Structure 1
């Protein structure tokens, strides 16, 4: 039985060593050294091979990413489940990034950095955390982890998703009808939505207009969810105060992209979280063993929903 690894080649040897130590019955092959493709039962990948039809005995595709929007699900065999590897390291990384950026916006760090560059020494009134409203779009594993962690600081927390959720201490909203009420209360909005047809371009002029004046936006979802021109207009008009952008539709952006030098934008190179073999291995192996025993796997995506 063989598993094909097709992702960051620098991490391939680590994956192979982990399987050799903890699951020697599973042969690991590192792309592009496929060998006989009919011997591959499992694929762990950022993107599947284009010639997937050659892997006639493939049983499961494991996505080594927080989402699966980079997959063209229509090109994958219907009988092969696509499963997200629920790496606890991903959630930890997202929580760390969200905490850093939310606290920085809350304590006006971007403003003070601009003042430093201008040799200006001016203190501004501090808003108590209890009066700062943090909204998270996307209430899956990552959004829930972020909201629970931010509760320790005393923020008022709100959440929105397509379907109804309940998170202790969080005011949860659901569906298009409740989106305006949710947005109107968000001083800092953090997007952690999966990319679907419904969420593509959701961070647009209408959404920004529904936020309170002086609000800030953090995009940790997907680049295609953000309409760049609309964000620039909202920032330049003064309606939005600051934006933190970790994902772009085109990565890296062109040298001429206006985000590079905009004074109200923090731009980071898609580093919100990364899949590390050491933290993801346990989740991947557990799902393989579940599959071998005929048990339900965790993280199986619903193809019609796209996540």
Structure 2
């Protein structure tokens, strides 16, 4: 019985070390080194090659290295009956809250204006808004969405939330379903996307949705690049309906050098760093699920594949 680590473009060494520290008896292979495919029953992965896992006849569990699982579920050739898990980690959750708060504060205080003004050696002052006077809408009220909402509330923002199904979140004016989406958007001066990526949410950040936001609204996407229709965002910024955007996720990563986002003065780019998984922080829950699999016990943080999260 073995574990396979598959993470093209990432350094697997820290993951292997963290797993073995948690579970000294664990036999770990790192793709694409030579190994016996029949031994592998548990895989830990991020962005595996499509179709890879159909070659493992005894594979039972695929564990995501992060909170997202769309990189797994998008593979049409997954083995039947496979169980999929995601990471739920306090550090990841807290880091996401801190990042979104920093982006929201950056926007209402106009700090990006001063970066540009410094480069141009201009002494200019810009009007700012206070948190008490700012409405922030969060799309997605899962673990991360709740953390962001709580952090914004504690910093005196007016917080609104929207989810596919009805959810209750402390200190949040909540909306749910398609029928309540427009009312939610009408109250979102700053819109934060924290939705899971599913067939229903792909391309949800489009011109029709942006049109329901108040004029001058600002968009923050920390979910997945596939949520955003890129051309629609630039068009709505350029025509003045949106004041700008902060993007941490993209359809293609790294973002190509020729992409127009790089040169757009009203789009702030960060390289998918809002919340980074630390192997030593999450190895314990992965090792526990490995033991649960061996003992045929229910897994923690199991994904409902029909929902996509």
TM-score range with shorter-chain normalisation? over 0.9
**C-alpha separation between the residues in 1 aligned to 2:11 and 2:259?**
31
Q: Is the 8 A contact 2:8 2:47 kept in 1?
A: no
TM-score by length of 1: 0.93
1:143 pairs with one of 142, 145, 169: 145
| Contact in 1 for aligned 2:42/2:62 (Cα 8 Å) | yes
Q: Does 1:254 align with 2:256?
A: yes
**Aligned partners of 2:247 and 2:268 also within 8 Å:** yes
Q: How many residues align?
A: 307
How far apart are 1:255 and its partner, in Å?
Answer: 3.1
Partner of 1:111: 113
Write out per-residue CA displacement over residues 47-78 of structure 1, whole angstroms, 9 at most, x where no aligned residue. 34534233111111101132121223531122
1:42 equivalent to 2:42? Answer yes
Which residue number in structure 2 is paired with residue 4 of structure 1? 4
CA distance in 1 between counterparts of 2:121 and 2:168 reads 47
CA contact (8 A) 1:73 1:303 kept: no
8 Å contact from structure 2 (residues 189, 217) kept in 1: yes
Structure 2 match to 1:173: 175
Return the offset for 1:222. 1.1
CA contact (8 A) 1:223 1:248 kept: yes
Structure 1 residue aligned with 2:62: 61
Residues 127, 303 of structure 1: CA spacing in aligned structure 2 closer, same or farther, 3 A cutoff? Answer: same
8 Å contact from structure 2 (residues 219, 245) kept in 1: yes
Query: Residue 120 of structure 1 aligns with which residue?
Result: 122
Q: Which residue does 1:244 correspond to in 2?
A: 246
1:158-195 superposed Cα distances (whole Å, 9 cap, x missing partner): 11110111111011111111110001111111111111
Change (3 A) 1:34 1:145: farther
Structure 1 residue 8: deviation in Å? 5.5
Structure-1 separation of matches of 2:268 and 2:91: 24
User: Structure 1 residue 15 and structure 2 residue 9: aligned?
Assistant: no
Q: CA deviation at 1:135?
A: 1.0
CA-to-aligned-CA distance 1:130-155 (integer Å, 9 cap, x gap): 11111111111111111111222100
Q: 2:306 aligns to what SS in structure 1?
A: coil
Indicate the residue corresponding to 1:30 in structure 2. 30
Contact 1:216 1:240 in 2 (8 A): yes
Contact persistence 2:191–2:218 (CA under 8 A): yes
**2:4–2:40: 8 Å Cα contact kept in structure 1?**
yes
Q: Which string of whole-angstrom CA distances, capped at 9 and with x for unpartnered residues, describes residues 197-246 of structure 1?
A: 11111111111111111110011111111111111111111111121111
Q: RMSD across aligned C-alpha pairs, in angstroms?
A: 1.9
Deviates more, 1:233-242 or 1:5-14: 5-14
For 1:74, what is the secondary structure of its paired residue? coil
Instruction: Please report how far the alpha carbon of residue 12 of structure 1 lies from its aligned counterpart in structure 2 after TM superposition.
Output: 2.5
After superposing the two structures, state which structure 1 stretch, 1-10 or 161-170, moved more. 1-10
Aligned equivalent of 1:198: 200
**Cα distance in structure 2, aligned partners of 1:51 and 1:196:** 22
Which of 84, 103, 107 is matched with 1:101 structurally? 103
Alpha carbons of structure 1 residues 3 and 180: separation in structure 2 relative to 1, 3 Å:
same
